[in-house]
Amino acid sequence: MRFSAWAALGAAIGLASPALADTLVDVESEHVDESVAMPTFKVDTSWPKLPDDMILGQIPGLSIAEDDTIWVLTRPNSLGPTEIGRDTDPPITQACCTAPPHVLQFDQEGNLLRSWGGTELAPGESTVTGSGRNAVEEGDEQWPANVHGLYVDKDGTVWIGGNGNGDHVVLNFTADGEFIRQIGRRQTTEGNASEEYLGNPADIAADGDSVLVADGYINKRIIAFDHGDLAFDELYGAYAEDPDGGTRDEPFDQSQATSTGDGGANPESRSFGDIVHCVVRGPDGTVYVCDRRNNRLQVFRETDDGTEFVRDVVIADGTGGTRTASDVAFSPDGTYVYVADMMNGRVWILLRDTHNVVGWFGRNGRYPGQFIWLHSVDVDSEGNVYTSEVNTGRRVQRFVLQGAED
């Protein structure tokens, strides 16, 4: 079975764009199920084209807009003074670099179109004394201390979550960074049963009739709000049951991402693990949720009577460390599911009809086409795949579709 439209696209890339071809590098991959055609990719080493003085920090969010522009969420606070020496007072370098704003928009060629972000764009004001886990914040500042999760909806507005200390909020902005509205409130969380407040939301899916929030790092649930007035709609845990399994008692810190205190991944658990990492609307009314700490996706379907459970999809069972299911995206026609696997440093390619593994690409490493703490994945209208990395990965990559391999 050959996906002819993609094959034609791959041929067009090779014949019509010799300059692009010079920057494309092969990616380590494996075609596991040869009875099914597998999309193939090369990584574009020229993408993105950052301003000369800019360096990227951790990238905990990635979203492809309706116009195929690529939106990236960065953590400038993940960069140290020796990396952004131009930002120190006085500057400690005469050369590069400076930190980027939190939100960046790129065109298909990788040119920077917009950039904005920071505390001045959100309501409230706070002061912080101390640092790290000893930091004490006073005030009502609503911009997250540690941004996490990005979604650009069909109207072009931008949604941002956070998983730092007290970041129990989702913020909504115009494409130019003007504040519109918010869900929840920083420094206020009331557990899995709350219909108003969040607990370190990890991800947002804001198209359709409701805004879905993967809630997330403190809570263990999905919660939905009406897209119009943000009134509460529904909430659920694993298997579309009432959320249980408790909440995280202390603020999340990155050391907990590899903790074994939960006894290890349990793909049969009746509750979500302690990082509900993504929520993504799929084809045919489906909703995919990344239960990362349990190495699984859970698939749901939205109906007139509420959300119902469809199935589990286990991703690389037996994996430890940061574990696997970090984010999900779909090929333009919905044939394939792409799953970002954080620990194994791979993008798994599943056939959506069966959720069987067709193959994978990528590996752990720092060279083009490799990953360190692979975090987010998304796909543009031509089938190109984009990924982002956190921790020491700190980059976004573009994988150009080459066609399909029989």
User: Left, alpha or beta for 118 (phi > 0: left; psi -120 to 50: alpha)?
Assistant: left
Exposure string (b/e) for 129-141, b if CB count within 10 Å is 16 or more?
eeeeeeeebeeeb
User: Tell me: the pLDDT tens digits for 142-177?
Assistant: 999 999 999 999 999 999 999 999 999 999 999 999
- Write down the pLDDT at residue 10: 47
- Write down the pLDDT at residue 4: 38
Mean local confidence (pLDDT), 138-144? 91
Structural contact between residues 55 and 83, judged by C-beta atoms closer than 8 angstroms = yes
Structural contact between residues 379 and 323, judged by C-beta atoms closer than 8 angstroms = no
Highest mean pLDDT out of 126-135, 255-264, 267-276: 267-276
Task: Please name the residue ranges forming H helices in 347-391.
Answer: none
Mean local confidence (pLDDT), 178-193? 97
CA 333 and chain centroid, separation: 21
Q: Is the pLDDT of residue 85 over 50?
A: yes
pLDDT category at 139 given cuts 50, 70, 90 is confident
Mean local confidence (pLDDT), 61-90? 97
- Write down the pLDDT at residue 8: 44
Ranking 10-19, 209-218, 342-351 by mean pLDDT, the lowest is 10-19
Q: What value does the mean pLDDT of the chain take?
A: 93
Mean local confidence (pLDDT), 289-318? 97
Kindly report the pTM of this predicted structure. 0.93
Q: Is the pLDDT of residue 20 over 80?
A: no
Residues linked to residue 41 through DSSP beta bridges, in sequence order = 401
What are the boundaries of each domain within the chain? 57-129+139-349
The two beta strands, 58-64 and 147-152, are unpaired
Mean local confidence (pLDDT), 252-267? 83
User: Tell me: the pLDDT tens digits for 24-43?
Assistant: 999 999 999 999 999 999 99
Query: Which secondary-structure segment (H or E) carries 162?
Result: strand 158-162
Output 129-137 pairs: Cβ under 8 A, ≥24 positions apart: 133/165, 133/251, 133/253, 135/165, 137/165, 137/166, 137/187
**CB hemisphere CA count around 236 (13 angstroms):** 21
Spatial strand order of the sheet with 58-64 comes to 58-64, 70-75, 103-106, 112-116
Q: Is the pLDDT of residue 131 over 60?
A: no
User: Tell me: the pLDDT tens digits for 196-223?
Assistant: 999 999 999 999 899 999 998 999 999 9
Structural contact between residues 102 and 75, judged by C-beta atoms closer than 8 angstroms = yes
User: Is residue 51 reached through a cis peptide bond, with omega within 30 degrees of 0 on the bond before it?
Assistant: no
Class of domain 57-129+139-349: mainly beta
15 token code pair: 């014949």
Q: Is the pLDDT of residue 395 over 90?
A: yes
Q: Is the pLDDT of residue 6 over 70?
A: no
Q: Which residue has the higher pLDDT, 367 or 256?
A: 367
Who's near 365: CB < 8 A, 6+ residues apart?
Answer: 345, 371, 372
Amino acid letter, 101 = P
Question: How far is residue 335 from each of residues 65, 129, 351, 355, measured CA to CA in Å?
Answer: 20, 51, 6, 10
DSSP letter string, 54-73:
B---EEEEEEE-TTS-EEEE
- Write down the pLDDT at residue 260: 78
- Write down the pLDDT at residue 138: 79
Ranking 89-103, 240-254, 307-321, 389-403 by mean pLDDT, the lowest is 240-254
Amino acid letter, 261 = G
DSSP letter string, 223-270:
EEEETTT--EEEEE-GGGSPP-S---SS---GGGGG--TT-S--TT-S
> Phi, psi at residue 25, to the nearest 5°?
-125, 140
User: Is residue 90 reached through a cis peptide bond, with omega within 30 degrees of 0 on the bond before it?
Assistant: yes
> Phi, psi at residue 92, to the nearest 5°?
-100, 5
SS3 18: helix
